[in-house]
Structure 1
Amino acid sequence: MAAQRSGNTVFLTEQEAERIRNTVKERVKKCNAAAGQAREPRDAKSAIRNATGASLMADMADMGPSQAATMPAIGVGQPYPPCVVPLKDLQPMKLGDLRMETHHRGYRLTVKRASPVVTLAARSWAMVQDEAGEEIERLEICLHKRRHGREVLETPGAVFILKEPYFTLTDDGEPTLRVDHPSDLVVVTGTDAEVSDVAAAEKMAKRCKDEGNAALEKQNLPLAHAKYTEGLRIARQDVVHNANPDLARDLSRNRAHVNLLLSQFDEAEADAKASLIGRDDDQRSKELDSKALFRAGTAAYNLGKYREAKELFERRLKLTPDISSKETSAILRKIDLRLREQEAGTHDLSKIRAGLSRARPRADAASFVANTTIKDSPGRGRGLFATRDIPEGDIIFIEKAFCVVWGFESDVLTAITYDVRDDRIRVSPVGLTRAVVHKLLNNPSQTAAVMNLYGDWPGVPTTNTATNTTTADDGPAIDTFRVHDIVSRNAFGPGSQFGDAEGARNASTGLWLRAALGNHSCAANARKEFVGDLMVLRAARRIARGDEIFHAYDESGDYDARREALARTWGFDCACELCVVEREDPPAVRRRRRELIAEVDAFVARERPAGANRRAVVRAQRLAKAIEETYDAQRYKGLPRLAARTIQEWLAIATPRR
C-alpha cells in the first residue's frame, strides 16, 4: 500500500526552474540566429584533447557519490521527423558542406570516431572525422545512445553514416552533429562489397559464420549478430545461394538464436522460418528443422502470438517426437495456459504473484481484454466500454505491460524536461521512453499499437498504413519525439513491489496499451492494482454493458495537487462530478484536508498495519474520522472520499498484536 504522497515529487527552486527555462530558450534563440551559416573548421588536435579531458571527467563523475542525486535537464518540444529515405538514395556530403541549424535533407555523411566517447546520463558525444581524415567535428547522440547494452559510439572499428545529418548547437553554444532518432545513424562494421567469384564469396560467408560463432561463444551478441548479418548478405547473393543454399540457412538459423538472446523476436522468427529445409527423408535435416521450429515458436510466444507458437511447436513435435517430446509437450501446456488466460481471464494471480521477485519482476502471462471494447467517447476521443455487465469487484481486464522499467534496474532514468510548446517543466520517465524505442527497433511489428496512442506530436506521416510504421529499405524509422509524448501522456507507475525505496529519480514506470485508452475520472468506476507488470483493473462498482470504463490517472486526495498533476502530466483540466464538488469546498476546508493527508502519510510510513498496537489503531481511527468530517455528507453523497482512502486501507488490513 503506497502513501498518497510517495516521494515522487521534485521540488525546484524558482531560480533552478528559471535557469533550465532560460538555457533552452537561449539555445533556441542562438540556433535561429545561426541558421544557414557555413560551418567553421575545427582544430583537430585541440578538439581531440578537449574531448579526451571531458571523457575522463565524465568517467570520474559517474563513479562519484553525487551522480545518483542529480537528474539531467532536457529541452523538448522541437520535434523533427526521422529520415525515411533509403541510404542508397541519399547523396554523399562532407563535413565542410555542413550548414548551421540545418537538416541536410537528401544527403548522407560518413564519419569515423576520432576521440574517446564522453558518456553522460542522457547523451554521449565524441569527435569524428570524415573519410579522408581532413576535417573533424563533434557528434552527439541524444538519449538513445546505447544498443543492446553498449554505447553505439564505442562500436569497435565502426563507420558511422548519418542520414540527413542535423547540424546544430549544444546548450553551451558549441556546434555539433546531433542524432535524436536511432534510425538516422547507420553503424557499419563489415564490408558491403559485392563478390562475383563463387569460391571467394562462399569462403567469405563461411568466415563470417565462424567469426559469428566465436563471438557467440564469448557472449558478444552484437558482434555475433553483425557477423551473421554480413555473412547472410553474401550467402543470399544469387552467385552463392545457387551453389550452396545450405550456407544461408545455417547463417539464418544461427542468427535466429542470437536474435532471441537480443529480444529481437520479429527477426528471430523470420530467420528461423527462412532456415527451414523441409526434407523428411533425412534425419540431420529434420533435427535442424526441429531446432528452427523451436526458435520460431519461441519468438512467436514472446510476441504474444500464442496460436502461431502452438502451431510451430506442434510441427516440431510431429517432426522429431523422439528427441523433443518431453520439452515440446511442456511448452505446449504452457501455451495452452496462456490461451486460456487470453480468452477467459483464468489467471491464478496468487500463484503469479508468488513467482515474482526482484530478479524476475515480469509475469509470464497473457493479457485478457475481452470484457472491453474501444469506441469513441464524446469529448474525450477514444475510450473503453464494457462488453458485458460487470459486478463490483470483478475483473474488467488483466493486461501485461508493453514495457516496464523498474526503479532498481539500470535502464531507469528520470529527467527534468522543459517543453517549449507550453512553457512547462516536468519530471519525465525518459528511461521508459528509451526502453520503448529500443523495443520497437527490435520488433517493428509492434510499432502500430504504440504509435496509435495519443501524443501531442503527430509525427511523420506513415509509409505503411497496415502497421502504422515508417520503414525505409534500411529498417524501421521510429519517431522518438512521438514516443516521448506518448509515454509522457500514457505511462503509469506500478509502484515498488519488491521492497525497494522509490522516489522521483528512480520511480518504476510502464506503458499499458489497453489501459492507455481508458479515460480518467476522479470518481472512477474501476480501480487498478498491479501484480508485477500485470495491471489488474477491477470494477469499483457495478458496471453495466455499454457503460464507459473510467480509471483514475491520479488518486491524490488533495484536490489542488491532483488538478495540477492532471494538467501537467496528462494535459487536461478534470471536470468529473467529484472535481465539481471539491472545487466548491472553501479554501480552509481543502487546507485542513491537505494537513490531514500529510499526517496520514507520516503515520502510514511509521506504523505497520501488521501487529499494530491499540494506540496506533485508535490514532488511525481518529485520523479517518477527522478526514471524514471535512466532507459534507449531502454534497458528497455517492462520491468517493479520496483523502480517506489510505487510512481506511490501513485500518482494513490492521491486525492487533497478541
Structure 2
Amino acid sequence: MAPANQRHTIFLTPEEDRRLRKTFKDRLQKCRDLTGQPRVPTDPKTLSSQVIQADLLSDMGQTGRSDAVVAFPVGNPYPPCIVSLQDLQPIELADLLVDTHHRGRMLTVRRVSPVVKLQAYSWTVVQKIPSGETERLEMSLHKSKHGHDILESGNIFQIKEPYFTISDQGEPTLRIDHPSDIAIRKDTIPTERPFEVGDSTATIPDTQTPALPTKTPKEWKEEGNAALKQKDLLLAHSNYTQGIQLVTTDGTPKEDSTFDLFRNRAHVNLALNRLDEAKADALSALTNLGDDRHKELDSKSYSRAGIAAYNLGSFQEAKQFFEEQLKLSPNDKEATIRLKQAEKRLKEQETGSYDLKKIKASLLMGHRPVDAATFTRNVKIKDSPGRGRGLYVTCAIKAGDIVMAEKPFCVVWGHEAQALTAMTYDTRHDRIRVFPAGLAKSIVQKLSDNPSQVEKIMDLYGDYRGLDKQLIIRDSGPVIDTFQIHDIVARNAFGPGPAYTGRHQGEQGDSNASAGLWVMAAYINHSCIPNAKLEYIGDLMLIRATRSISANEEIFHSYEGSNDFDARSAALMNTWGFTCDCKLCEAEKADSPDVRKKRGELEKEADAFVQGETASGARRMVILKAKRLEKSIQETYDGERYKGLPRTALVSIQKWIAEASTR
C-alpha cells in the first residue's frame, strides 16, 4: 500500500456529512426496494423537459460552481462484460428490470438528444428502434476519451449487458461504468437534430451497420492526412484504420499503400500516447527495401518505434530501434541525440546514478516530465508478514543513499485540466474519503490505450479484486474494470504536492490536488518509525534511506506524519483501512488519553515558541524557558516504554535549543 502524502484535506460540516450520507443511503435503499421489478416506461415529455433544461443550464454555466467538490458513492462494484458483442443476445427496453445487470444481453439504441456534460458523469436520451421508446442513458466518471465525451462520439450505441438502475439523482437510467461496455457507431442521420418526443422515424435495423460510401485506401489516407492537419487526432486515427482494414487481413499488409497508412497512424498514436499501437504500427510500416526512398521511410518508422519504446520505459529496445535508424540515416542528428538519451537512461536504470542538478535545472526551464529512468535494481517485492506484500532491499544501504528512484505510471498535476479531486462515500465501510478522481480517469485511459501495462497495475493491492490482473481483449480493445482501478488508486496513490513549472508552483486547490501512481513505490508499507523517506524532483520520486538499512530488510516510510496518535490512527484507518502496530504506536496507545492530551498541548506551545523566538542571539532567560518546556514534554514520556523510540513532540523544541546553544 502507498500514501497520498501532502494530500488536500476537505472539511465537511456535520450537516454536510449527514446530508451526503443520507443522499447516498436513500438511493441505495431505493435500489434495493426496486431490484428485479419491471421497468416503468419513462414519460418522453418529462425526459424532453429534463434534457432541454439541463442542457440550457450547462450552456449558461449553471450546472455547478467550478470550485465545487464532486461527490459520488462507491462500494457496489460489478465486473465489466467480458463477452464479445457477437455472442450477446438482443434485449428490448421493455424487458429491462430495475437495478439489474442483464448478463448475456445487448441493447441497441440511438441517441436523440444533446449530451449533458457534468464533472462526474454525462447523460443523454436514447431511443429504441423501431419501438420509439425512450430512456435516460448515463456514463459515469469514465465518460471521455482523449478529451472528447464518449456519448458525443456517435449516435448508435450497443450497450453490453445493460445495467438499468436508479441514478444518484433518483432518476431511472441506463448506467455505464466501464467504457468497454459500450460500442459506438455513427448513423447517417444527423446526431444533433432536435429532440422530438416519440420520434421513431429511423428504419435502421439493430443489427445492421449503416452503409458507408466506398473509398480507396489512398482516399482514406488523404482524409486522415486532412484530419491530422486540422489536429483532429481521433478522426485521423479512424481514417487511417479504415484504410488499413481495406488492405490487410489479420494485420498482414496486402498492398504497398498499407505501409504509408501504418506509418501515419504510428505518428497519430504517438500524439495520443497509444504507445503499444504506435510501436506495432511503426514496425508494420517497415518495407525493408533497399532503395533510397524506402530507406528514408523505414528510417522514419524506426524513429517512431524507438520513441514509443522510449516512452514506455523500454530503453534497451529503444536503443536498438535508434541504432537501426542510424544505419539507414547515418547523418540524422536527431537519431544520434535520441540514441545517446536511451544509453543514458540505461545507465541510470543500471546504476541509480542521476545528474540531479541537471534535472532540477531542466525543471527551472519548464521541461517536464523529468527525462530519467526508473532505478529499482536494489529492491524486490516479497511477502510482508501481516501486511500482504512489501518492498525489501537486496543489499545494504547507507543512510542518505538512494534506495530506489521511480518515474510514475501516471501523474496528474493540479494545474492540469484533467485534475479532479472528489469526495466518495464508501458504502462498504460507511466512510467518506477524499479521492483523486482525475488520476483514476487518466489511468483507465492509459491502460485502454496501452494494454501491455494492464498486468502490473492490476497486480497492485485493492479491496476489490475484480478481474484480477489478467488482460482480456474483447471487440478490439482491453476490458478495464474501473471499480478495480478505483480501489487500487484509493489504496496506492501518492500526493506529490504542486508541480514546479518554471517560475511558479502549479496551482491547485481542494478540487484539483496533484496525484500520481508510482507502481514499485506503492509496495512500500507504512511505519511510524520509517527507515526511508520520499523526495520528488518533478515527477521523479526518490526513496532515500533515513538510517542504515541491512540487506533483506523491509523498507518503510510514513503514510501519515501527524504526531497526534489519535489523529494519526484515525487517518490510517479511514484512508488506508488498517491499524498500525509499530512499536511507537504500541507505546503511545498505552498512554492514557489525559497524558496524550497534555503532550499535544505542550507540543503546540513548543511550536508557538519556536515560531515566535529566534534562536540566533537568544537571551539566557529565553533559552531557560525553552529547556523548561522541553522538560515538561519529556515528563509525558515513560522512560522505559519509550526506550529507543522517537519522541516526536520534542523535535522542534530540541532543534531550537541546539541551534541557540551553538550560537
Q: TM-score, normalised by structure 1?
A: 0.88
- The answer as to 2:415 corresponding to 1:411 is no
2:280 equivalent in structure 1: 270
SS at match of 1:537: strand
Classify the secondary structure of the residue corresponding to 1:506: coil
Deviations 1:467-491 (A, max 9, x none): x222223310011101100111111
2:342 pairs with 320, 325, 335, which one? 335
**C-alpha distance in structure 1 between counterparts of 2:208 and 2:252, whole Å:** 14
Distance 1:614 1:178 in 2: 68
d(CA) in 1 for partners of 2:78 and 2:476? 19
Q: Report Cα offsets for 1:74-100 as digits up to 9, x if no partner.
A: 111111001111122222333333222
Report if aligned partners of 1:398, 1:535 keep a CA contact under 8 Å in 2: yes
2:66 pairs with 1:67: yes
> Structure 1: which amino acid aligns with 2:555?
I
| 1:187–1:376 distance in 2 versus 1, CA, 3 Å | same
Q: Please show how residues 6-155 of structure 1 align to structure 2 within 5 Å.
A: 8-61=8-61, 66-68=65-67, 70-132=68-130, 134-155=132-153
Q: Is it true that 1:304 corresponds to 2:306 in the alignment?
A: no
Contact 1:190–1:230 (8 Å) recurs in 2: no
Residue 529 of structure 1 pairs with residue 529 of structure 2? no
Aligned residue for 1:211, secondary structure, equals helix
Question: 443-452 or 577-586: which moved more?
Answer: 577-586
- Taking a change above 3 Å as real, the CA distance of residues 339 and 409 of structure 1, as seen in their structure-2 partners, is same
Instruction: Decide whether aligned partners of structure 1 residues 636 and 497 sit closer, same or farther in structure 2, where only a CA change above 3 A counts.
Output: farther
Amino acid corresponding to residue 33 of structure 1 in structure 2: D
Q: Please give the per-residue CA displacement for 1:406-459, whole angstroms capped at 9, x wherever unaligned.
A: 122221111111111111111111111111111111111111111001100010
- TM-aligned CA distance change 1:433 to 1:600, over 3 Å: farther
The DSSP-based 3-state class of the residue aligned with 2:15 is helix
Q: For the structure 1 residues 124 and 381, does the alpha-carbon distance in structure 2 shift closer, same or farther, using more than 3 Å as the test?
A: same
- Residue 565 of structure 1, CA deviation: 1.0
**Matching residue's letter, 1:290:** S
Residues 1:596 and 1:109: Cα distance change in structure 2 (over 3 Å): farther
Amino acid at match of 1:492: F
Q: Residues 180-579 of structure 1: matches in 2 within 5 Å?
A: 180-189=177-186, 203-237=215-249, 242=254, 245-280=255-290, 282-322=291-331, 324=332, 326-356=333-363, 360-460=367-467, 468-498=470-500, 499-500=505-506, 502-579=508-585
Deviation at 1:633, TM superposition (A): 5.3
Q: Secondary structure at the match of 2:259?
A: helix
Mapped contact 1:48–1:114 kept (Cα < 8 A)? no
Residue 49 of structure 1, CA deviation: 3.0
Higher alpha-carbon deviation: 420-429 or 84-93: 84-93
How much has 1:513 moved relative to structure 2? 0.9
Structure 1 565/239 Cα, relative in aligned 2: closer, same or farther at 3 Å? closer
Distance 1:241 1:383, change over 3 A: closer
Q: Once the 2 structures are TM-superposed, how far is the Cα of residue 371 of structure 1 from its aligned partner?
A: 1.0
Distance 2:466 2:474 in 1: 16
Amino acid at match of 1:111: V
CA distance in 2, matches of 1:194, 1:175: 29
1:350-398: CA deviation from partner (whole Å, max 9, x where unpaired): 2212212595442111110111111111222111111111111111101
Report deviation, 1:268: 0.5
Matched residues in 2 for 1:602 and 1:273: separation?
64
TM-superposition CA deviations, 1:492-514 (whole Å, max 9, x none):
11123533565543321111111
User: Shift in Å at residue 223 of structure 1?
Assistant: 1.3
Aligned ranges 1:146-165 → 2 under 5 Å: 146-155=144-153, 157-165=154-162
Secondary structure of the residue aligned to 1:355 is: helix
Q: Which amino acid aligns with 1:246?
A: D
The structure-2 alpha-carbon separation of the partners of 1:625 and 1:221, relative to structure 1 and needing over 3 Å to count, comes to farther
Say if 1:61 and 1:67, in contact at 8 Å, map to a contact too: no
Q: Decide whether aligned partners of structure 1 residues 600 and 536 sit closer, same or farther in structure 2, where only a CA change above 3 A counts.
A: farther
Give the Cα–Cα distance (whole angstroms) in 2 for the partners of residues 314 and 553 of structure 1: 44
Give, as a single letter, the amino acid of the residue that structure 2 aligns with 1:232. I
Question: Residue type matched to 1:24 in 2?
Answer: F
Residue 219 of structure 1, CA deviation: 0.6
Distance 1:613 1:506 in 2: 40
Supply the distance in 2 between the matched residues of 1:590 and 1:218 (Cα, whole angstroms): 64
- Secondary structure in structure 2 of the residue aligned to 1:161: strand
Q: Deviations over 1:609-641 (max 9, x none)?
A: 9xx98689x89x949948964545554343234
**Residues 413 and 505 in structure 1, CA contact (< 8 A), matched pair in contact too:** yes
Instruction: Indicate if the aligned counterparts of 1:627 and 1:643 stay in contact, CA closer than 8 A.
Output: no
Q: How many Å apart are 1:129 and its aligned residue?
A: 2.0
Give yes or no for contact 1:389–1:543 (8 Å, CA) kept in 2.
yes
- In the superposition, the TM-score normalised over structure 2's length comes to 0.88
Give me the whole-angstrom Cα distance separating, in 2, the residues matched to 1:194 and 1:138: 23
Aligned partner letter, 2:240 = Y
* Secondary structure at the counterpart of residue 356 of structure 1: helix
- Give 1:187 shift: 2.4
Q: Distance in 1 between matches of 2:563 and 2:251?
A: 71
Aligned partners of 1:23 and 1:603: how far apart in 2?
46
Q: Distance in 2 between matches of 1:215 and 1:476?
A: 26
Secondary structure, aligned partner of 2:60: helix
Q: 1:310: Cα distance to partner? A: 0.6
8 Å contact kept, 2:6–2:495: no
Structure 1 unmatched ranges of 5 or more: 463-467
1:465 alignment partner in structure 2: none
Q: Percent identity?
A: 51
1-structure distance, mates of 2:410, 2:546: 26
The one-letter code sitting in structure 1 at the alignment partner of 2:167 is T
Amino acid at match of 1:126: T
Aligned partner (choices 594, 597, 604) of residue 600 of structure 2: 594
Aligned pair in 2 of structure 1 residues 47, 31: CA closer, same or farther (>3 Å)? same
- Residue 45 of structure 1 and its aligned partner are, at CA, apart by 4.3
**Contact 1:9 1:503 survives alignment (8 Å):** no
Deviation for aligned residue 1:38: 2.5
Q: Is the 8 A contact 1:189 1:226 kept in 2?
A: no
2:110 alignment partner, SS class: strand
Secondary structure of the structure 1 residue equivalent to 2:127: strand
Give 1:240 deviation, angstroms: 11
SS at match of 1:210: helix
Deviation at 1:332, TM superposition (A): 0.7
Would the aligned equivalents of 1:234 and 1:240 in 2 still touch at CA under 8 Å? no
Distance 2:124 2:425 in 1: 25
Please give the alpha-carbon distance, in whole angstroms, between the structure 2 residues aligned to 1:374 and 1:540: 20
Give the count of matched residue pairs.
Answer: 634
Distance in 2 of aligned mates of 1:267 and 1:627: 65
CA distance in 1, matches of 2:450, 2:537: 25
Alpha-carbon distance between aligned partners in 1 of 2:643 and 2:260, rounded to the nearest angstrom: 70
Instruction: Provide the C-alpha distance between the structure 1 equivalents of 2:287 and 2:164, rounded to a whole number of angstroms.
Output: 49
> 2:413–2:506: 8 Å Cα contact kept in structure 1?
no
User: Given the alignment of the two structures, is residue 175 of structure 1 paired with residue 181 of structure 2, yes or no?
Assistant: no
C-alpha separation between the residues in 2 aligned to 1:502 and 1:154?
A: 29
Q: Is the 8 A contact 1:628 1:641 kept in 2?
A: no
**In structure 1, C-alpha distance between the alignment counterparts of 2:365 and 2:130, rounded to whole Å:** 50
Q: Is the Cα contact below 8 Å between 2:282 and 2:302 reproduced in 1?
A: yes
What residue ranges of structure 2 are gaps of 5+ in the alignment?
Answer: 189-206
Instruction: Write the deviation string for residues 212-247 of structure 1: whole angstroms up to 9, x where unpaired.
Output: 1111101111111122222222222599964xx122
